[in-house]
Amino acid sequence: MSTAGHDAWDALTAALLQITEHAERLAVLDERETTHHLQISSRLTELARQLADATESAAGIQATAARQAAILDSLDGLDEQVATIAARLTDLAPERGNADCGEGDSYRPSPAPRWWKLTGDEREQGLARLRAWVDQIYRPGSGHLAAALGPCWDQHALCLYGLDWLMELWSLLYLAPDRTAGTIASQAEWQTRLLPALAEQTYLETTRCQHTQQAARRQSPPTRTFTQPERPTVNTDADRQDRLYR
């Protein structure tokens, strides 16, 4: 091979080597770019998820703000309405008080008896009004509910407290000169909810107490016991043998 041919072959070999090196560099760059692309895609996906969460949270906050704005709008002027109602009630109070004073069947609640401290004549005076209501109103008008009340009810504090407010509520509802829709609803609640609940309490209180047990013992007939009479002592040999082997 001539010198010119040898030089041409060396030039070609050098060119091929450079092309190979460039190809390897391009492969490395391509792999690196591919990795960068995957990382950027994953990051973009995460950012999109966070954006969706932020958008949902913002929508919830906006809805809450809208509800609060509606509540604030509904409260606008509420103080004026309350003041108007209070003024109206103030105006009606004297009129109602005068009507009660002039109406014989009207009723005003009496002070609550202090059962925990009343004794002697003071206690009897406090019980007199309650006994009258129980005998004249409660027992005749409450049927089997009142029949469950034990005769010793006036000796139980639970019965005194309960029957006292039951009497006051009955008086307010049935002795009022006017009857409204609210009064009728209160009467229905008194009879269907409050009366049975208290009747059950007083029944349990007056049927499991010591007074009921004592009354039951007094009413039950005495139990007679029969004992075997003792045999007379006989000082005989046969009698001594009989006692020995018995």
Residue 237, in any domain of the structure: no
Verify that 76 and 113 share a domain, yes or no: no
Verify that 116 and 88 share a domain, yes or no: no
- For every residue of 59-112, DSSP letters joined together read HHHHHHHHHHHHHHHHHTTHHHHHHHHHHHHHHHHHHHHHHHHH-TT---PPPP
Verify that 79 and 114 share a domain, yes or no: no
Verify that 147 and 190 share a domain, yes or no: yes
For residue 242 the two structure tokens come to 């009989």
Last residue of a domain, one of 33, 63, 95: 95
Q: What residue numbers bound the domain in which 162 lies?
A: 109-217
Residue 140, in any domain of the structure: yes
Verify that 88 and 119 share a domain, yes or no: no
Total number of domains in the chain: 2
Residue 234, in any domain of the structure: no
Verify that 64 and 39 share a domain, yes or no: yes
Residue 227, in any domain of the structure: no
pLDDT tens-place values along the chain, 246 residues long? 566 666 777 777 877 788 888 788 888 888 888 888 888 888 888 888 888 888 888 888 888 878 777 777 766 666 776 777 677 666 655 444 444 444 445 677 778 888 888 888 888 888 888 999 999 999 999 999 988 888 888 888 888 889 999 999 998 888 888 888 888 888 899 889 999 999 998 898 888 787 666 655 566 555 544 344 455 454 555 454 454 444
Residue pair 206/149 in contact (Cβ under 8 Å)? The answer is yes
